Chains A and B, each alone.
Chain A
Amino acid sequence: MGLLSKKDAKLITDPLADNNPITIQVLGICSALAITAELKASLVMGIAVLFVLGIGNVVISLMRNIIPSKIRIIVQLIVVASLVIIVDQVLKAFAYELSKTLSVFVGLIITNCIIMGRFEAFALGNGPWKAFLDGIGNAFGYAVILLIVGFFRELLGSGTLFGIPVLGDPIEKTGLYSTGYENNGFMLMPPMALIIVGLIIWVQRSRNTTLIED
C-alpha cells in the first residue's frame, strides 16, 4: 500500500488476528456477547465502536501533553461519554428500532474496556495519525469477532442473515426445513455466545501456538 508505511499498516492488521482485542487482549467482552443475536446489531455496534475509538484516540492523542496525570481517567471518560452520547442520539434519530435492541449497550460503550485500554496503552504516548490507525485497527478486530459470533447465532438460531431468510421458510417448510431441520432456538440465548467465543479462541490458539497460556 502506497499510503501507509509497513509499520503503520501493521497497526491495522495486528488487532485483526494476533493481537485481537477480544480474544487476546480480553477487552470489550461485555457488548460482544450481549447483542450478537442479530447480525444487524453486531454490525451497528461495530460501526459505533469504530467511530468512538477512532475519533477518541485522535482527541486524546492531540491532548496528550496537556492532560495532568492525576485526572487522566476522568478526562478520558468525559471524551468517551460525549462521543457515545452523539452515537446514541444519532441511532435514536435514524434507527429507532435498532436502538431499542441495543438498549443500554450503546451507553456501555463508555465502559468498553477496549476504548479506555487503547487510550492508556497507545493514544497517550503516540501522535494523532498513528493513534487513529491503532483505533480503527482495534475496532476492526472487535467488529470481526462480533460479526463471526453474530453470523453463527443468527444463522443457526433463526435461519436468517441480516433479517433475510436464507435456509428457507420455517413455517412453510421450504428449503432446508423440508428435511426436518429446525432452528436451534438455544443459539439466541446469551450463554451460547460465550461458548462460541470459547470455540473461536480454541481455533485461534491452535493455529498460532505462541498464544497458548500454560
Chain B
Amino acid sequence: MIEHIELFFKSIFIDNMVFAVFLGMCSYLAVSKKVATAVGLGAAVIFVLAITVPLNWLLDQYLLQPGALVWLGPEFAEYDLSFLSFIMFIATIATMVQLVEIVVEKFSPSLYNSLGIFLPLIAVNCAILGGSLFMQSREIETLGLAVNYGISSGIGWFLAILAIAAIREKIRYSNVPAPLRGLGITFIVTGLMGIGFLSFGGMLTGGDEEVKEEPKEVVAEITEIEAEVDNQIKIVN
C-alpha cells in the first residue's frame, strides 16, 4: 500500500511530467491561453494516460520484455522483442486516442468542439508516449502500480497546465516587454514554476535505505595493503 502512495505523490510532484522531464510541452504551450480549454485538455490527458500505461504494461510484460514469451512455451524464453516497444506502444496509444475521440464526440460535443485539433494531437503528445516509456524504463512491477502511475503522472501534467493557464490569463494585464510577450514570458514563468517544484524533492527521503556492506570490505582491503607494504619494506631492507 505504501508504495502506491509513494508512487502517487512522487509522480505528481517530484517527477512532474512538465517540470522535471518536460513532456507534453507543445500542447502545454499552445492550449494554455484559457483556463477552460486547459482543464479540458488536462482531463483528456489524465484519461488517456490512465488507459494506455496499463495496456502498454501488459504488452511489455507478456510480449516485449526479454523472456516475456515464456507463456507460449519454454522454447520462447530466449526471445527479446523489446526493440519493437516503440511501434507497439505508439500503435496502442493511437488506437486508444481514436476511441477517446469517438467517446468525447458522442457524450460531450461542446468539449469536443473547444478542444478542436488538440484531441487527436494527444496521440503525438510526448507525455503519453513518455508515460509508457518511463513505465518501461523504471520497471514498474504490477498492473496496479501501472494504473497508479498513469493516473498520477496525468494529474501532474494537469496541475501544470492549469497553473500556467491561470497565470497567463492574469499576465495579460501585466507590463511585459514586447519581445517577451506571449511565448517568451511563458517559458520563463514555467522555469520559475519548475524551480518551485524542485522544493518537493525532499518529500520522500529517508527510511528505506539499505545498510551498506562496504565498511567491512574497505577495512579488509586496508589491512591487506598494509601487510603488502610491510612485506615490501622488509624486502627492501
Q: Are B137 and A104 in contact (CB under 8 A)?
A: yes
Binding site for A on B (CB under 8 A): 19-26, 29-30, 83-87, 90-91, 94, 120, 123-126, 128-130, 133-134, 137, 177-188, 190-195, 198
Q: Are A33 and B124 in contact (CB under 8 A)?
A: no
B54 → chain A closest CB, angstroms: 18
Partner of A192, one of B128, B186, B191: B191
7 contacts between A and B (CB under 8 A): A28-B26, A30-B126, A73-B123, A77-B124, A82-B87, A104-B134, A206-B179
Partner of B22, one of A30, A209, A212: A30
Q: Are B184 and A201 in contact (CB under 8 A)?
A: yes
A146 → chain B closest CB, angstroms: 13
Q: Are B179 and A202 in contact (CB under 8 A)?
A: yes
B32 → chain A closest CB, angstroms: 12
Q: Are B184 and A198 in contact (CB under 8 A)?
A: yes
Beyond A34-B21, A89-B83, A112-B126, 7 additional contacts (C-beta under 8 Å) are A77-B91, A116-B124, A191-B190, A191-B191, A191-B192, A198-B186, A198-B188
Cα A111 to Cα B91 in complex, Å, equals 12
- Lowest 6 CB-CB distances: which A-B pairs, in order? A191-B194, A198-B187, A194-B191, A205-B179, A213-B182, A29-B25
Q: Is the interface of A mostly helix, strand, loop or mixed?
A: helix
A184 in contact (CB, < 8 A): no
B59 → chain A closest CB, angstroms: 14
A98 in contact (CB, < 8 A): no
Q: Are B23 and A108 in contact (CB under 8 A)?
A: yes
Question: Which residue of A31, A85, A108 has the most chain B CB atoms within 10 A of its CB atom?
Answer: A108
Partner of A189, one of B133, B180, B190, B198: B198
Cα A187 to Cα B198 in complex, Å, equals 13
Question: Which residue of B22, B180, B185 has the most chain A CB atoms within 10 A of its CB atom?
Answer: B22
Contact-size category for A: 35 or more
Q: Which residues of A contact B25 (CB under 8 A)?
A: 29-30, 33
Kindly identify, within residues 76 to 104 of chain A, every residue whose CB is under 8 Å from any CB belonging to chain B: 77-78, 81-82, 84-85, 88-89, 103-104
Binding site for B on A (CB under 8 A): 23, 26-31, 33-34, 73-74, 77-78, 81-82, 84-85, 88-89, 103-104, 107-108, 110-113, 116, 189-195, 197-199, 201-206, 209, 212-214
Q: Are B21 and A190 in contact (CB under 8 A)?
A: yes
Q: Which residues of A contact B91 (CB under 8 A)?
A: 77
Cα A88 to Cα B137 in complex, Å, equals 14
Cα A27 to Cα B24 in complex, Å, equals 11
Cα A213 to Cα B180 in complex, Å, equals 9
